[in-house]
A and B are shown apart, each in its own frame.
Chain A
Amino acid sequence: MGEMKNIYLAIVLAPLFGAVMAGLFGRQIGRAGAHVVTIAGVAVSTVLSLYALRTLMQAKAAGLEYVFNETLYTWLVTDGFSFHVGFLVDELTVVMMSVVTFVSLMVHIYTIGYMKDDPGYQRFFSYISLFTFAMLTLVMANNLLQLFFGWEGVGVVSYLLIGFWFKRETAIYANLKAFLVNRVGDAAMVIGIAGVFFVFGSLDYAQIFPRVGELNGLAIEVFEGQPWSMATLISISLFIGAMAKSAQFPLHVWLPDSMEGPTPISALIHAATMVTAGIFLLARMSPVFELSETALSMVLIIGAITAFFMGLLGLVQNDIKRVVAYSTLSQLGYMTVALGASAYSAAIFHLMTHAFFKALLFLGAGSVIIAMHHEQDMRKMGGIGRYMPITYLTALVGSLALVGFPGFAGFFSKDAIIEAVKVSHLPGAGLAYWAVLSGVLVTALYSFRMFFMVFHGKPRMDEQTRSHLHETPLVVTVPLLLLAIPSVVIGWIAIEPMLFSGFFGQSIHVDHHHDVLAHLADHFHGAQAFALHGFTQPPFWLMLTGIVAAWVLFLKKPEWAAALKSRLSPVHQLLDNKYYLDDFNALVFAGGLRGMGRTLWQLGDRVLIDGLLVNGSARLVGWSARVVRHLQTGYLYHYAFVMIIGLVGLAWMARSAAL
């Protein structure tokens, strides 16, 4: 185990080293130096993560002790409580580590091409390496405090990267928005963590999970006479934190705007890794969530709303990245639904496949954007497939994986989720089932709308742009190809071990009343059969309908789409304005808070505190000092008189006390 400890340390610290080098010495090491050092750092992490994955699986197969849980550094000890920095590496962690480092490596390489002419080249590399460090700290933590550190770390880097082009007004607005919305979630999350600490007196997973049964029947009266189940309170608080980070309705509003950042980070942070931190958190805390059906139902319903309604928004977007962004929201909704249905493994499975194909789609979109000279409006594209064969092919793979075409990675994970929800008995499962099922149709529709609008049909860009269209350089296409491979094959390989053979072992805990995957396992006869079976199922037909509809509406008969749009103009209006949620937030929360702030500032701060308390007391002190000073007249007989008065006063006091 000692040897593994050094390896884990290296996995975390190598990207940090790269980030520091590129960030602090960027000018000295130059552009090439910056990308060499950061890519080397992440490459080391990737290789070691894969090695860790292999070692762990071998150890597990050999029946050895394979879970690594060690404290590296004691940060603080106070009054019987201690806080540590440490690693817990189990099945869940190694999967996350491998996915994070691999996608991060691809994005690092891709960035060389995408950010080629950007003046902030070194800064960008520094940020994404720093992000990798923070994300690894988060997933490898063996306690909630360190997880929270990583959680905030990725939040900060996300903030920095959304506003990477800090001269753009919209980018600054977007990163502020992301930060503020995440504050809401973090506040709840801190309450959740505090709740755990309150009950268990520790934040170490190894301390919490064996004693999780203590939560049973434990209630707390936050308001008098209203006992709340502690398990529910903790779960819901943590889930609200996860909602902000994983962009679940109604805290999703920051994610579409985060597309203001450069495309590589949209792929890395806002699709593949950071936004899945919430999913990871819930999977990690599964023993607690399993105790509260209320919380699970809430997770299920929020996920269902997000999966379906955010998908609809994807239909009306014209910015290529925003389509992918809404698709991400919708897919995160799927993962959340899986969590709510207690199919944690399915959620992590979908997280993994999604990381690959969504990174692929984002990078593909980025490739198109490079070729189009940073034009992102799909209405100005069309027919690009001819000029960019590799991008075209990989985007097709990504889209098929996204819509869940049988055999592609997304199919396995998404179908597993739909099936799992179908057999769940939790309140809200019926609703969620219909949401994720019809979500399939919506997914197919917006995915292929984008695909057709961008790659097929008549070119709609101006002549000059068209004449310059050509395939992007190798640093862009190679990551695309490397991501396309797992987008196809990972489902075949992973579905059986991850979902049905107990790969996650003790790292995920499912109460046997909720164990929907065990239910599915009875009908599972290998990946091939699962794929073939998929062709006969409603999701397949829905998906096919979606693709065909997209083909008809957006490629063959665009006038139908226009007619539909005018027929359904109120709906379109609603979707175009994103359900008016942004306006609502701006008006009620932002406006209300600003109004309250102004009132408190004027009345409370300026009048009461500054005017009355601060300046008032200073004035009072000054005034009394000037008055009392006049008692010092300088006359001896005054002095003696004051003394005699003092004598009389004290004597009178003593006298009255004695009587």
Chain B
Amino acid sequence: MNFAVPNFLPALPEIFLLVSICGVLVVDLFLTDEQRWLTYVLAQFALLLTALAVVFGFSGETVTTFGGMFIGDPLSVLLKVVILLFSTVIFLYSFHYLRAGGQLRGEFFTLALFGILGMMIMVSAHNLLLFYVGLETFSLCLYTLVAYNRDAPKGAEAAVKYFFLGALSSGLLLYGFSLLYGTTGTLSIPEMAAVLTAAGADGSVNPATLFGVVFVVIAIAFKLGLVPFHMWVPDLYEGAPTPVTLYLSTVGKLAALGMAVRLLVDGLGPLFVHWQELLVVLAVLSIALGNLVAIVQTNIKRLLAYSTISHMGFFLLGLLTGTPDGYSAALYYMVVYALTGIAGFGVILLLSRKGFEAERIDDYKGLGRRQPWYAFLMMLVMLSLAGVPPLVGFWAKYSVLMSVISIDMIWLALYALVFSVVGAFYYLRVIKVMFFEESPMVQPVSATADMHWTLTLNALALLGFGLIPGGLLDFCRSVWG
């Protein structure tokens, strides 16, 4: 039996990142707390070099390796680049927050980096087993990160909840995989699609396959935080350290997008009509519940949690169209959402300091007077989340709704539109609190130059991409050529 040496090139970025993480981990062992910034700098280098490796390692052609288990295609490259670049911004915000709060430890960066490695494997997986490995790498890091503040009861509670529910969803996913394997006889994603196409030629479908689809959809819904698999989201957003929330709610969602596309579109594409109606139900529930419950929140992190639920519902709208335009719109929506979320959490992180978390909405009273610039940036974030033109959030909603209209599901577009009006209420309330309410609180804010400028650029990008929407949108379209 001959063992062919696999082509390592497509997986080079992952290999490089793994080696780098190990390096960071070892270096970190020998650092004192004063020198901990070195870990941060090394982690940033690792991210940037990996991103370069991704960009320059990709020839433009789709390649598979490791016996077809691993794929490098435009989607995986785009997602990896966006994940890596967004992660550098997240690391930057987090570093300043953690240092100011005296919580700077090397584990944060190494765990986050391992998680990123998991995400990269997930989006490049072309085989269910490899996919599962990536997913679990990512999830295990997250469970730990949520409990980063070991002594905070809320953090521990959130971690336990997330761990148990996550385990449940992993179990369901594995069960789904086993059902699919049982009926199709393969774990390779493209082969599964081929088998399903052949089997479905006469219009019939094996009920066991269908149950497999249901389980897979549920696991995806759990990762995205869709109703009714969303219960962990608010508790986690509130309980986890803010940098972890930021990490999970932005790049984490991009990875979940990769998961949805790899499993549903690439693997179960032939069963589109069957999973489409499941997604419709999930989207309808998420959009309604997310927007409604966000109204009564007093904690801005919980508010953003419910807002995320509704945004994930919107994202599904693009996915459930089953058209390349819809997939591009969904991808665009997710990238825009992540960019906006990073800016929003960036402001929260900036305003927090040792012993004080700027997490109650009341903490933002009078911000327009105290910190007019950051209040302005926060306003951009809120308007973009609400989908007000000319901010980029508007174009994201617009393209998703247009794709829904193009498959003649006008009622669904109208429904989403009505709830985005409801949603505008709580976003605008934050703006109102910032600019039209007074607070006796005097809160010093110290931002280093890199934090200030990165945040400024990050928030102004929302305006910039909104004014010139073409580039980013075309970029997302190019994935489905």
Q: Are A638 and B231 in contact (CB under 8 A)?
A: yes
Among B211, B232, B296, the residue within 8 A (CB) of A639 is B232
Interchain CA distance A655-B232 in the complex, whole Å: 27
In the assembled complex, B165 has its CB within 8 A of some CB on chain A: yes
Which residues of B lie under 8 Å from residue A632 when comparing CB positions? 231, 234-235, 293
In the assembled complex, B277 has its CB within 8 A of some CB on chain A: yes
Among B231, B235, B274, B293, the residue within 8 A (CB) of A654 is B274
Which residues of A lie under 8 Å from residue B292 when comparing CB positions? 621, 624-625, 628
In the assembled complex, A650 has its CB within 8 A of some CB on chain B: yes
B294 to chain A, nearest CB (A): 8
| A622, A625, A651, A655 — most chain B CB neighbours (10 Å) | A625
Q: Are B281 and A650 in contact (CB under 8 A)?
A: yes
Q: Are B214 and A650 in contact (CB under 8 A)?
A: yes
Which residues of B lie under 8 Å from residue A220 when comparing CB positions? none
In the assembled complex, A61 has its CB within 8 A of some CB on chain B: no
B313 to chain A, nearest CB (A): 14
Q: Are B210 and A642 in contact (CB under 8 A)?
A: no
Which bucket holds chain A's interface residue count? 20 to 34
Q: Are B295 and A643 in contact (CB under 8 A)?
A: no
Q: Are A640 and B168 in contact (CB under 8 A)?
A: yes
Q: Are A625 and B278 in contact (CB under 8 A)?
A: no
Which residues of A lie under 8 Å from residue B210 when comparing CB positions? 654-655, 658
A268 to chain B, nearest CB (A): 47
- Known A640-B168, A647-B172; judge A654-B228 contact (CB<8 A): no
In the assembled complex, A119 has its CB within 8 A of some CB on chain B: no
Smallest CB gap from B164: residue in A: A636
Interchain CA distance A645-B296 in the complex, whole Å: 25
Q: Are A625 and B293 in contact (CB under 8 A)?
A: yes
Q: Are A628 and B289 in contact (CB under 8 A)?
A: yes
- Known A625-B292, A646-B228; judge A651-B211 contact (CB<8 A): yes
252-274 of chain B: CB within 8 A of chain A: 274
Smallest CB gap from B215: residue in A: A647
Q: Mark A121-134, 1 if CB is under 8 A from B, else 0.
A: 00000000000000
In the assembled complex, B161 has its CB within 8 A of some CB on chain A: yes
Chain A at the B interface: SS class: helix
Q: Mark B233-265, 1 if CB is under 8 A from A, else 0.
A: 011000000000000000000000000000000
In the assembled complex, A626 has its CB within 8 A of some CB on chain B: yes
Interchain CA distance A393-B32 in the complex, whole Å: 112
In the assembled complex, B417 has its CB within 8 A of some CB on chain A: no
Q: Are B277 and A653 in contact (CB under 8 A)?
A: yes
In the assembled complex, A523 has its CB within 8 A of some CB on chain B: no
A323 to chain B, nearest CB (A): 60
A628 to chain B, nearest CB (A): 5
A104 to chain B, nearest CB (A): 46
Q: Mark A470-507, 1 if CB is under 8 A from B, else 0.
A: 00000000000000000000000000000000000000
Smallest CB gap from B172: residue in A: A647
Which residues of B lie under 8 Å from residue A634 when comparing CB positions? 235
Interchain CA distance A642-B214 in the complex, whole Å: 16
Q: Are B165 and A654 in contact (CB under 8 A)?
A: no
Interchain CA distance A643-B210 in the complex, whole Å: 18
Which residues of B lie under 8 Å from residue A622 when comparing CB positions? 295-296
In the assembled complex, A167 has its CB within 8 A of some CB on chain B: no
Q: Mark A118-156, 1 if CB is under 8 A from B, else 0.
A: 000000000000000000000000000000000000000
Which residues of B lie under 8 Å from residue A525 when comparing CB positions? none
| A629, A639, A647, A654 — most chain B CB neighbours (10 Å) | A654
In the assembled complex, B18 has its CB within 8 A of some CB on chain A: no
Q: Are B161 and A650 in contact (CB under 8 A)?
A: no
Which residues of A lie under 8 Å from residue B215 when comparing CB positions? 647
- Known A621-B422, A628-B289, A654-B210; judge A643-B222 contact (CB<8 A): yes
Which residues of B lie under 8 Å from residue A639 when comparing CB positions? 161, 165, 231-232
In the assembled complex, B205 has its CB within 8 A of some CB on chain A: yes
B residues touching A (Cβ–Cβ < 8 Å)?
160-161, 164-165, 168-169, 172, 205, 207, 210-211, 213-215, 217-218, 221-222, 228-229, 231-232, 234-235, 274, 277-278, 281, 289, 292-296, 422
- Given contacts A625-B292, A632-B234, list 18 more A-B pairs with CB under 8 A: A622-B295, A628-B289, A632-B235, A636-B160, A639-B161, A639-B165, A642-B229, A642-B231, A643-B165, A643-B169, A643-B222, A646-B228, A649-B228, A650-B217, A651-B214, A654-B210, A657-B274, A657-B277
Question: Which 9 interchain pairs have the tightest Cβ spacing?
Answer: A639-B231, A646-B228, A625-B292, A625-B295, A625-B296, A654-B210, A651-B214, A642-B228, A654-B214
